[in-house]
Amino acid sequence: MTEQDLKTEEKILEAAMTVFIQKGKAAARMQEIADTAGINKALLHYYYRSKDKLYESVFSIVIKQLLLPKIFKILQEEEDVFALIHQFADFYVGVINKNPFIPLFVIEEINKNPNRLSNAVLNSGIPIEQVIARFQKAMDEGKIRKTDPRQILVNLISMCIFPVAARNMLLPILFNNSKTEYKKFLELRKTEVAEFIIQSIKI
Amino acid sequence: MTEQDLKTEEKILEAAMTVFIQKGKAAARMQEIADTAGINKALLHYYYRSKDKLYESVFSIVIKQLLLPKIFKILQEEEDVFALIHQFADFYVGVINKNPFIPLFVIEEINKNPNRLSNAVLNSGIPIEQVIARFQKAMDEGKIRKTDPRQILVNLISMCIFPVAARNMLLPILFNNSKTEYKKFLELRKTEVAEFIIQSIKI
DNA sequence: GTCTATAAATTGATAGAC
DNA sequence: GTCTATCAATTTATAGAC
């Protein structure tokens, strides 16, 4: 594979990522991806055989390179549940804010192709059971109040993802269309979400 | 307009709602809508001129009839912030659970057509400012801890909507694919979300 | 109003020259 | 490897009979 190959392949992938993530799979157009990459439509099929395959490549990269590795690290390494919540919220709000179209992209994929993402997560080695056990232990030790640990986890993820997915609705309704205000709001959220949860579960 | 007209028009609308909400606008097929409605494809164009117009009708109904009125009532009438949180969570988790494809449908629309939903909300008369003021007052009175009321509102909405939007991911990861478990989890959430928030903000 | 048949348009995919 | 030109398939939309 020559250097030119790599360059083109990467250009395509980057363009495809932009278009697929913004438009969704069905509404994305191969022509637009080609235009965005600054190359010809036929080249898309030369490198990736079909729209399906191209989409799969994009999805795989988003999940396996962008989202999962860091989360894996946090969930794996952080023993203290309060610190875990903080780190998780900080990373998640940050990465999603930097890639604001990912939530829609992922939620769409979840609904169109239910098993792909969950399999990726399950195969990624992310130790969900361990994390839940860690929360359970904190409850047994009287550090946090007793509740279903999954409720806490779901709350955490919800609060990180949704405000970005719903950006275009929140912006006019809560922020008078001020992007500065909204940005400040999200920046604060990195700690706010964690504090909100800890405030709720600590004893 | 005869009775038959109404019947057919309604059949179409109902079918369109099912298909659009489940597939998204781009992936929805007029043929499938016609089949679902049990009528011919040409009739779709006879009643609604185009796919676009049909979609708009569906979206308008979902928002203006299904989502907004009840929320308006709750936000308008309920003075006590704790009760407001409870009622809001109870209704929202319930309606979304009954119509699990709505979150994706709405989020998609938010991103494709940013102003439509927010305008609908802004024009619905939902008293956002009043609600925020009510939270502010509760803070001033020392009933809840001081924070940005919008953070609380966003948390509330996030926790109601996301778990249903992400159903297909949560199901295998947190519930071993047990729909019964997941259903129980969501049923509990109607009160759990409200309690979680109140626990966090009360003094 | 409702249908069948068909046109028109869009778009993913391929052939073939360079 | 990259392009232009074209095909083939899908899908929205319309014409016209009943």
pLDDT per residue as tens digits for the range B128-148: 999 999 999 999 999 999 999
**Taking CB atoms and an 8 Å limit, are B115 and A172 in contact across chains?**
yes
Nucleotides of C under 7 A from a protein CB: 1-5, 11-16
Same domain, B41 and B98: no
- Both A37 and A85 in one domain: the answer is no
pLDDT: which is higher, A32 or B67: A32
High-pLDDT (> 70) share of chain B, %? 97
What rounded mean pLDDT belongs to chain A? 93
In a domain, A196, yes or no: yes
* A169 and A132 in a common domain: yes
Q: How confident is the model at residue B2 (pLDDT cuts 50, 70, 90)?
A: low
Q: Is residue B54 part of a domain?
A: no
Nearest to B162 among A128, A148, A162 (CB): A162
In a domain, A58, yes or no: no
CB-based contact B114 A200, cutoff 8 Å: no
pLDDT digits (tens, 9 = 90+) for B155-195: 999 999 999 999 999 999 999 999 999 999 999 999 999 99
Residue A101 shares a structural domain with residue A147: yes
Looking at the fold, whether A191 and A154 belong to one and the same domain comes out as yes
Q: Does B122 touch chain A (CB under 8 A)?
A: yes
- Which residue(s) pair with A144 in the sheet? A202
What nucleotide is nearest A37 when CA is compared to C1'?
Answer: D2
What is the per-residue pLDDT for B57?
96
Chain centroid, CA A145 distance in Å: 29
Question: What is the rounded CA–CA span in Å between residue B66 and residue B10?
Answer: 16
**B49-94 per-position pLDDT tens digit:** 999 999 999 999 999 999 999 999 999 999 999 999 999 999 999 9
d(CA B86, CA A175): 24
Query: Per residue in A145-178, pLDDT tens?
Result: 999 999 999 999 999 999 999 999 999 999 999 9
Interface of B with A in 21-40 (CB under 8 A): 23-27
Determine the residue type at A193: V
pLDDT value, residue B184: 95
| Residue B7: exposure state from Cβ atoms within 10 A (0-12, 13-18, ≥19) | exposed
pLDDT tens figures, B73-84: 999 999 999 999
For testing the chain B interface, which of A82, A109, A174 should be mutated: the one with the most B CBs within 10 Å?
A174
pLDDT attached to residue B113: 85
**Same domain flag for A93 and A167:** yes
Is A28 a domain residue? Answer: yes
- Nearest nucleotide to B26 (CA to C1') is D11
**B117 in Cβ contact with B55 (< 8 Å):** no
Q: For residue B20, give the CATH number of its domain.
A: 1.10.10.60
A102 and A185 together in one domain: yes
Give the residue-averaged pLDDT of A59-82: 93
The total of structural domains in chain A comes to 2
Does the pLDDT at position B1 exceed 60? no
* Domain CATH for A120: 1.10.357.10
pLDDT for res B103 = 87
Q: What is the dihedral of CA B83, B86, B90, B93, to 10 degrees?
A: 140
- Bridge partner residues of A4 (DSSP): none
| CA gap B79, B82 in Å, rounded | 9
**Backbone phi, then psi, for B104, in 5-degree steps?**
-60, -45
Give the residue numbers spanning the domain of B123: 68-201
A14, containing H or E segment: helix A3-23
Q: Are residues A38 and A73 in the same domain?
A: no
pLDDT > 80? residue A3 = no
A57: in domain: no
Strand D positions closer than 7 A to protein CB: 1-5, 11-16
Q: Is A56 a domain residue?
A: no
How high is the pLDDT of residue B4?
A: 64
Give tens-digit pLDDT for A104-158: 888 888 888 888 899 999 999 999 999 999 999 999 999 999 999 999 999 999 9
Q: Which of B23, B52, B159, B189 to mutate to test the interface with A (most CBs of A within 10 A)?
A: B159
Phi, psi dihedrals of residue A7, rounded to the nearest 5° = -55, -50
Q: What is the pLDDT of residue A6?
A: 63
Residues 30-89 of A with CB under 7 A from strand D: 39-43, 46
Are B168 and B93 in the same domain? yes
Q: Which of A20, A82, A96, A111 to mutate to test the interface with B (most CBs of B within 10 A)?
A: A111
Partner-chain residue, chosen from B104, B171, B172, that has the shortest CB–CB distance to A107: B104
Q: Are residues B131 and B169 in the same domain?
A: yes
**Would you say A59 and A101 are in contact if contact means Cβ atoms under 8 Å apart?**
no
Residues B12 and B79 in one domain: no
Residue A34 pLDDT class (50, 70, 90 cuts):
very high
Return the pLDDT at A101. Answer: 86
Residue B41 counted as domain residue: yes
Report the gap between the CA of B38 and the closest CA in chain A (Å): 24
**Is B55 inside any structural domain?**
no
Q: Judge if A73 and A124 occupy the same domain.
A: yes
A115 strand D contact, CB < 7 Å? no
Q: What is the pLDDT at residue A69? A: 94
